[in-house]
Amino acid sequence: MQTVPISFDHFNSLADRAAGERIEATRAQLGKRAVLLCHHYQRTDIHRHADITGDSLKLSRLAGQSDAEYIVFCGVHFMAEVADILSRPDQISILPDLAAGCSMADMANLAKVERCWRELSSVLNPDESVTPVTYINSAADLKAFCGAHGGIVCTSSNAPKILDWSFARRKKVLFFPDQHLGRWSGYKMGIPFEQMVIWNPDLELGGLTPEQIRNAKIILWHGYCSVHQMFNPGQIARFREKYPDGKVVSHPECSFEVCAQSDAVGSTESIIRIVKESAPGTRWLVGTELNLVERLAAEVKHEGKIVQFMADTICMCSTMQRIDPQHLAWTLENLVAGKVVNRITVPAHEAKLAKVALERMLDAS
């Protein structure tokens, strides 16, 4: 193994096409030693190189099933962490650009969640009455927190099933970091809005009264996805006025008002399936990340289907966009040269507890 990695400076000025050609060349050299996992929100010039594409649940399931030595995750930081947790000890998880994070995940950190747990204990006994549920869009130490406190992980695909699992064990749920996914899932289960309260981590007792905490079924963390916040009911109303026969499908990270006015609500995998299984000639308004919407529109165009992006302005996951052809080419060429760059390693004690919470999810779903 060489000791000095190839500098990224040699790749920073590469044109996208040239970087793409170098990716293809290194993929051929590495063969089955490396597998590229790619999230649906990834840009097209990265997505086309993927061995496996999918949403968080699908990629979580497949992360440890590959025989590859290197798992190169074209996504964001928490996804590469999940790959490291669920893969074999001899496999190496890599994120081409360490700056590819998640603003939603950053809205809940371990210190704030632990403080919330302590404050809840002044009103009730959370270890007996509250199941902590973390959306997969969260750091490994929060997944470990859930593992240690009888909790679990969920995705946008399985959140209702996970809430069923949680309520079968304890009366309440602390759901973080995305309030919208938690609220929509609770609503679909018939939980009244007054029993779904928002916990603001910057306020004492989350800004709630002891009575509100005792009466709550779901305590929702004050977090959200900045991309899905761009969508609003007015966009849906204008679409329906112009295209009365059109259909609307949204991701559950959208606000409740957007979800409630949609014909269907589902994860990225669900959105793709719903549109692809619809009748030829159908027109769709889609409320999720732009790269997925544009790719889906191209894939169904030959059936006469029209797929439109919901927002009035360009709305991509900016952190996901950091995984570009230049960073991927640099990562792969270093592997060819015998050097691992940007390895993602979750500390063993965290990984053990996080795996407990992740395996509970996989078993429950």
Query: What is the full DSSP assignment across 223-290?
Result: ---TTGGG--HHHHHHHHHH-TT-EEEE-TTS-HHHHHTSSEE--HHHHHHHHHHSPTT-EEEEES-H
Predicted pLDDT at 25? 97
In one-letter notation, the amino acid at residue 144 is A
Predicted pLDDT at 39? 87
Element (H or E) spanning 23, and its range? helix 16-30
Predicted pLDDT at 354? 97
- Please, which residues have CB within 8 angstroms of residue 162's CB and are 6 or more apart in sequence? 133, 152, 153, 154, 361, 364, 365
Tokens 């609003």 sit on residue = 232
Predicted pLDDT at 1? 45
Both structure tokens of 165: 């699992």
CA nearest to 174, candidates 107, 117, 255 = 117
Which domains, ranges and CATH numbers included, belong to the chain?
9-100+319-347 (3.40.50.10800), 105-225 (3.40.50.10800), 228-309 (3.40.50.10800)
Contact between residue 154 and residue 133 where contact means Cβ atoms under 8 Å apart = yes
Residues forming a β-bridge with 219: 174, 197
Q: Residue 345 gets which letter from DSSP? A: -
Both structure tokens of 214: 């005792």
In one-letter notation, the amino acid at residue 171 is K
Three-point CA angle 43, 66, 160, nearest 5°: 70
**φ, ψ for residue 318 (rounded to 5)?**
-65, -35
Tokens 């929060």 sit on residue = 142
pLDDT tens-digit profile of 261-293?
999 999 999 999 999 999 999 999 999 999 999
CA nearest to 365, candidates 217, 163, 137, 144 = 163
Q: Is 356 left (phi over 0), alpha (psi -120 to 50) or beta?
A: alpha
Give pLDDT < 70 ranges for the chain.
Answer: 1-3, 57, 60, 315-316, 318
Helix (H/G/I), strand (E/B), else coil: 153? strand
Contact between residue 26 and residue 335 where contact means Cβ atoms under 8 Å apart = yes
Predicted pLDDT at 56? 74
pLDDT tens-digit profile of 159-176?
999 999 999 999 999 999
What's the predicted TM-score (pTM) here?
Answer: 0.93
10 Å CB burial of residue 96 (0-12, 13-18, 19+) is buried
10 Å CB burial of residue 176 (0-12, 13-18, 19+) is buried
